[in-house]
Structure 1
Amino acid sequence: MRKVGLVIATVTAGGVFAAYSLMSAVTAPLQGLDLEGVACAALDYKLGKLFNISAEQKANAEVIIEVGSAMGISPKGQVVAIATAMQESGLRNINYGDRDSIGLFQQRPSQGWGSQAQIMNPRYSASKFYNSLVKVNNWQNMAVTDAAQAVQRSGFPDAYAKHEATASQIVTSAYASKSGGGGGGGVQQINASSGCIPQPNPASYKTRGYVSKAMSQVGKPYVWGGTGPNGFDCSGLIVWAWRQEGYQLKVRTSQQMYDAAVPVRRGQEKPGDLIFTEFEAGGPAHVMIVVERGLALEAPRTGLDVRTRAYNPDTENMRFGRLPQSQMTAATAQA
């Protein structure tokens, strides 16, 4: 990102994204950074609930992102920094704290973080945080809260976790603004190699028909590798149903669908979204279709026909996703 304004994508009743500018523009060399590991912009976050922050807090978040970008820190590192500042100071540059802790990150002059005047400079304090973060062995593969704790050594080591979603939204939405999301899309997770990039909206206007087509196959046998019309495996049912709506998917297996899907928060899934389960080293071994919240459609396994079943994400290891239109190409419906 060069010129960055913080935006968030929300979904209107018609499924169309609208972007809202939330931060004044800043100059930051973010383009080309790997966004792998960043929780991407959630589709159903509400503007007021997520970004109920002051002009001071917005400005401080901008500085943290800008400094991290200039230092070549990945967006995941920027998420760690934003989450840390949210926990330590509420994203405010305060001149007080526990013992001699001050500033955005509550750094202590007595512990070698710098002089009081230096720490009270947001750019200095952000750079000191990042310098310490990159010295943490394997921080890139740590949970956000663990990476933050490795730098801060807080008495409340898990406290940073509750800020991860908002911090992720701030960083990824800033990226969306530069990349064209300001007028037509959010930041969506693609896969481990490409990270998060703007994509066109999901083909939501076709979703109802695709679910209906899939439901019409209840009772058909499970066939490994099957994509219809006489039998299906779990992902083959999804491929077939979208084909009946005029779309050929670019992904075929449950693992590929998982990599390509836009993450959807638990409890915010909608009809047509995907449910990923039975996770193995390579990803999910099974995928289902949300019929309605709490009810899924699946081609389960050999010996069991296509069926609907109740699901409960509170007791089952499930993740939800939505295929973006970028993973579909127009095609003539086939039998």
Structure 2
Amino acid sequence: MRIGWLVTALLAVACAAVLTLVMVITAVTSQQRAEIGAIDHVSCEAMIGPTQPGQRSEGASQAANLNEEQLGVVSLIISIGQERDLPPRAWQIAIQAGMTESRLRNLPYGDRDSLGIFQMRPSMGWGTPEQVLDPPYQVNKFYDVMEGVPDWQNRRPGDVAQAVERSAFPDRYHDWESMAVHLVEELGEVDDPAGCGELDAAHANTVPPNGAAETAIRFALGERGKPYVWGATGPDAYDCSGLLLRAYEAAGVTMPRVSRDQYRAGAMLPVEQAAPGDLVFWAHDTSDPNTIHHVAMYIGDGEIVEAQQTGVPVHTRDISWDEDGLMAEAVRPGV
């Protein structure tokens, strides 16, 4: 009889423990789903991938060396951009171009007949010498030509600057990216120059294909809002591959450090068939994986989570399968 009572008591304790465990699991799952429902859903104007992003502090340090004349030119670029209802991305492009061409000075000289902030050449149809030395004319002319560059809103700022200036040294424009972002934020009084940052609940029903992907997605979404810092792997800041390294590490999957190596770290499938948790990549030359410069995680419903570039926090955004530079293959880590 006593044995029967003892068995009954033990069963009751066991059932209570199981019930408690189930309640805890349910509570955690509900909390996680709530967190997923409160992620950043963004429509960013930021570039698709970093070139030489540098660190946020580097941009502030470079800007601190600008004199009154240079800061006046930046202010003019921003004010005219605002008057023309152009987004902060346009101001950044013009700042990078002006810094590269003249160090943001209205120079009365230059290579051959180049003049002014953007070193415009009257002989190449930019205007008369008097016009291309007039700062408002120069800035407006730069914006006029920039708006004619195909898909300029979605290209890397330095590449757009090059498309306008047509320099023999196209990579130079990327050098001032972090400084331009800093100036847009400070002088333009823009907290979010990439246009990212509103919250919604679009991802509450995201269903990853397996447990590892689910954990990786939850980790990446949990890091939203943390800053991009080139070379960072957390916990306070990330670059593109650093975020995904830690996300899959949390899921028990070991990943290489850099995006080009992550491209070879799993099973490949057509990018259009990507499932939540799969990685997608961007390259300067999509026929050459050695030129991959950016990686993000697909989370379903046509969206990705990424650490994109200087000045843009970890966020989500829509993805189009025909984006410029998108590799044709997605990668499923750990498979």
TM normalised by structure 2 equals: 0.53
Question: Which of these residues, 73, 77, 85, is aligned with residue 64 of structure 1?
Answer: 77
Match of 2:177 in 1: 164
Choose between structure 1 and 2: higher strand proportion. 1
Alignment of 1:136-155 (within 5 A): 136-155=149-168
Match of 2:45 in 1: 36
Q: How many residues align?
A: 218
**Structure of higher CA gyration radius:** 2
Give the 3 Å change call, closer, same or farther, for CA 173–145 of structure 1 in structure 2.
Answer: same
Task: Deviation per CA, 1:285-316: give whole Å up to 9, x if none.
Answer: x5626xxxxxx952135xxxxxxx69644874
> Would the aligned equivalents of 1:41 and 1:169 in 2 still touch at CA under 8 Å?
no
Alignment of 1:213-224 (within 5 A): 224=210
Match of 2:216 in 1: 234
Once residues 238 and 124 of structure 2 are traced to their aligned partners in structure 1, the CA distance between those partners, rounded to angstroms, is: 49
Match of 2:89 in 1: 76
CA drift of 1:61 comes to 0.5
Question: Which of these residues, 221, 224, 228, is aligned with residue 264 of structure 1?
Answer: 228
Give the 3 Å change call, closer, same or farther, for CA 64–146 of structure 1 in structure 2.
Answer: same
Query: Which residue identity is paired with 1:153?
Result: R
Once residues 181 and 115 of structure 2 are traced to their aligned partners in structure 1, the CA distance between those partners, rounded to angstroms, is: 24
Task: Deviation per CA, 1:170-217: give whole Å up to 9, x if none.
Answer: 113334x3x6xxxxxx6486xxxxx24699xxxxxxxxxxxxxxxxxx
Query: Which residue identity is paired with 2:113?
Result: D
Give the 3 Å change call, closer, same or farther, for CA 103–171 of structure 1 in structure 2.
Answer: same
1:94 and 2:72 are equivalent in the alignment: no
CA drift of 1:53 comes to 0.8
Once residues 153 and 275 of structure 1 are traced to their aligned partners in structure 2, the CA distance between those partners, rounded to angstroms, is: 30
> Would the aligned equivalents of 2:63 and 2:183 in 1 still touch at CA under 8 Å?
no
Match of 1:114 in 2: 127
CA drift of 1:266 comes to 2.2
Comparing both chains, which one has the higher relative contact order based on Cα–Cα distances under 8 Å and sequence gaps of 6 or more? 2
Alignment gaps of 5+ in structure 2: 1-42, 200-208, 263-294, 297-305, 317-335
CA drift of 1:99 comes to 0.8
Once residues 262 and 68 of structure 1 are traced to their aligned partners in structure 2, the CA distance between those partners, rounded to angstroms, is: 28
Look up the SS of the partner of 1:107 in the other structure: coil
> Would the aligned equivalents of 1:67 and 1:127 in 2 still touch at CA under 8 Å?
yes
Match of 1:300 in 2: 252
Look up the SS of the partner of 2:89 in the other structure: helix
Task: Deviation per CA, 1:79-98: give whole Å up to 9, x if none.
Answer: 11111001100001110001
> Would the aligned equivalents of 2:197 and 2:315 in 1 still touch at CA under 8 Å?
no
Query: Which residue identity is paired with 2:97?
Result: T
Alignment of 1:244-283 (within 5 A): 254=220, 256=221, 260-273=224-237, 277=241
Give the 3 Å change call, closer, same or farther, for CA 145–275 of structure 1 in structure 2.
Answer: closer
Give the 3 Å change call, closer, same or farther, for CA 299–105 of structure 1 in structure 2.
Answer: same
CA drift of 1:66 comes to 0.8
CA drift of 1:321 comes to 5.0
Give the 3 Å change call, closer, same or farther, for CA 93–287 of structure 1 in structure 2.
Answer: same
Choose between structure 1 and 2: higher helix proportion. 2
> Would the aligned equivalents of 2:55 and 2:230 in 1 still touch at CA under 8 Å?
no
